[in-house]
Amino acid sequence: MTANGQQRIAPTKTPVPVATDGAPGAAVLATVPGPPPVARWSGSDLLAALRVAATDLHGERATINALNVFPVPDGDTGTNMDLTVSAALAEAASLADQPDVAASDVAAKLARGALLGARGNSGVILSQIFRGLAQGMARRGSLEPRDLARSFASASEMAYSAVMKPVEGTMLTVIRGASDGAAAAASVPGATIPDVLAGALASSEVALASTPQLLDILRQAGVVDAGGQGVVTLIAGLDRYARGIAEPTRHVEPPRTAVTGIAFDESFTDLHGSDDFGYCTNFLVIGTGIDVAAARTTLTTLGDSAVIVGDDTTLKVHIHADNPGLVLDYALSLGDLTEIKIDNMQQQSRALRQTAPVAPPAGIPAATFGRQVVLAVAAGAGLADALRSMGATSVIDGGATMNPSTEELLAAVEASDAAEVILLPNHPNVIMAANQVRDLTERSLRIVPTRSVPQGIAALSSFNADADLAANVAAMGAAMAQVHTVQMSTAARDATIDGVAVRAGQA
């Protein structure tokens, strides 16, 4: 037993039970050995410690979600951080059977996985904390106390640099507090790894407690910052591993207004007013020669709460935008898009006010639209998911060449359960076939002639379930017209077009 009555772990490896309810992050499995070395950590120790921390975060994700009121009350901070850490561990899983793996190699894998799997504002910032830790651990086969303290400092610096307009009272404040505490502990002669983590944890808890004084919306809601709480939970897990403590010490207090699973302050509308929260837009750009600074400058003109991180080949973007179509349109000029996820934050915050679960990322159910449905055409599951997340009731597979037949479009229209249907072709090839469907159905069908998926997303952002069909078609058409898309294709054969010769296989 420890001095405060906590049970220490026996010196044999003992599995720590992890939820298997299928919730995000449930695949994380932690094994906590007996008390690890106090003077130096191997790469294996680092990986094992993060597994314990991930287990603790997964167990507290719902309570962290309930704290989420800034920057948008969408109730998903705990889930996003959980998914981001799970992605980091999945990337590093191949190193688990290498007992002599360098700490720097583990940290680099964790950082890469966190970047690729980052979800939401909190997840992207957390990925930069991982990136900073990796920089601090570069070229280190094992970690001494001063290495760990240096890594916390690097993590804090990287997190602040990732946010265009850093706000105190958030997880940034908390990771900076952890850095200060780690540095102070490491400066004491004879300091150990547990000492550094204890210093980081104590200072991060003080910083977390200060967040309501730094951010008024937290004070009014009676909560601490959700992302900051996630950071504290992770550091507490690392500390638990370092001290060989068998059971997690609870560091998350449910908000005082907690009700029915997801908590929310009944006066929340008074806190945020009638803000139009727009769309939480997340995606990954894979390209070459990406100018990260220029991308940040341009993207921040298209929305707010922007967190844009990466390098010249990989760019992770999180932004809150009124028109995500414009964001994706610009991003396509940088490279290929993947991991596209767009959430309607207005709908999410409304769900929280009604103490209902947050709408799932899979999209808005058809019932939302009442008498109208919106059908869209897309090639590929990723684009289909993006369109559904924006509110498309159904997505028609256009195939690699975006050439669905009139019959396929008609079948989708007839299968809908509404008298009024809006169809988004999302490609020039599809517009003529879509127009033919109007003569073949008895339903009231309108075509908004979108020529690309970004135009389709822009159109969906202007759909209003309470408006009549004509008003929706007009609004969606106007939004579509704001988006201009350039597309590159590979030539299927040799040809000369407008005096320009192209060869098969050229892009």
Please name which of 171, 212, 217 lies closest in space to residue 73, comparing C-alpha atoms: 217
Alpha carbon of 7 to those of 10, 50, 249: distances in Å?
9, 20, 11
Region 422-447: what's the mean pLDDT? 87
Q: What angle do CA 195, 246, 224 make, to 5 degrees?
A: 65
Tokens linked to 210: 């200060």
Q: In the prediction, which pLDDT does 388 show?
A: 84
Note whether 493 and 506 are within 8 A (CB): no
Q: In the prediction, which pLDDT does 16 show?
A: 32
Report the first-to-last Cα separation within the chain, whole angstroms.
Answer: 67
Q: Please provide the average confidence, as pLDDT, over all residues in the chain.
A: 80
Name every residue whose Cβ is closer than 8 Å to that of residue 165 and which is 6 or more positions away in sequence: none
Distance between CA 433 and CA 403 in Å, rounded? 9
Q: In the prediction, which pLDDT does 37 show?
A: 66
Please name which of 367, 342, 347 lies closest in space to residue 359, comparing C-alpha atoms: 347
Of residues 242 and 419, more confidence is placed in: 242
Q: In the prediction, which pLDDT does 252 show?
A: 63
Burial class (CB in 10 A: 0-12, 13-18, 19+), 70: buried
Tokens linked to 160: 């602040």
Hey, is 272 helix, strand or coil? helix
| 139 pLDDT more than 50 | yes
Go through the domains of the chain in sequence order and give each one's CATH number: 14-263 (1.25.40.340), 274-361 (3.30.70), 365-507 (3.40.50.510)
Region 455-477: what's the mean pLDDT? 87
What's the pLDDT tens digit per position in 174-192?
999 999 999 999 999 999 9
Tokens linked to 399: 């195939």
Tokens linked to 34: 């007996």
- Please report the DSSP string for 185-226 in residue order: HHTSTT--HHHHHHHHHHHHHHHHHHHHHH-HHHHHHT---H
Q: In the prediction, which pLDDT does 349 show?
A: 56
Q: What are phi and psi of 15, to 5 degrees?
A: -65, 140
Region 488-493: what's the mean pLDDT? 65
Burial class (CB in 10 A: 0-12, 13-18, 19+), 426: buried
What sign results for the dihedral spanned by CA atoms 79, 321, 289, 309? negative
Q: What percent of the chain has pLDDT over 70?
A: 78
Note whether 212 and 224 are within 8 A (CB): yes
Sheet holding 420-424, edge to edge: 394-397, 372-378, 420-424, 444-447
| 232 pLDDT more than 80 | yes
* Low-confidence winner among 11-15, 22-26, 328-332, 426-430 (lowest mean pLDDT): 11-15
What's the pLDDT tens digit per position in 294-306?
999 999 999 988 8
Q: In the prediction, which pLDDT does 223 show?
A: 86
| 225 pLDDT more than 70 | yes
- Please report the DSSP string for 371-403 in residue order: TEEEEEEESSHHHHHHHHHHT-SEEEE-TTTT-
Hey, is 366 helix, strand or coil? helix
Q: In the prediction, which pLDDT does 171 show?
A: 95
Distance between CA 34 and CA 44 in Å, rounded? 13
Q: In the prediction, which pLDDT does 267 show?
A: 36
What's the pLDDT tens digit per position in 60-85?
998 898 888 766 665 788 998 999 99
Distance between CA 487 and CA 113 in Å, rounded? 29
| Neighbouring C-beta atoms of residue 495, cutoff 10 Å | 12
| 370 pLDDT more than 50 | no
Note whether 463 and 420 are within 8 A (CB): no
Tokens linked to 498: 């407008």
Distance between CA 24 and CA 243 in Å, rounded? 28
What's the pLDDT tens digit per position in 7-43?
433 333 333 333 333 344 444 445 455 556 688 999 9
Tokens linked to 425: 């072709």
In whole angstroms, what separates CA 205 from the centre of its chain?
24
* Low-confidence winner among 65-69, 143-147, 419-423, 502-506 (lowest mean pLDDT): 502-506
| 447 pLDDT more than 70 | yes
Distance between CA 56 and CA 487 in Å, rounded? 45
What's the pLDDT tens digit per position in 257-302?
432 333 333 333 333 333 455 888 999 999 999 999 999 999 999 9
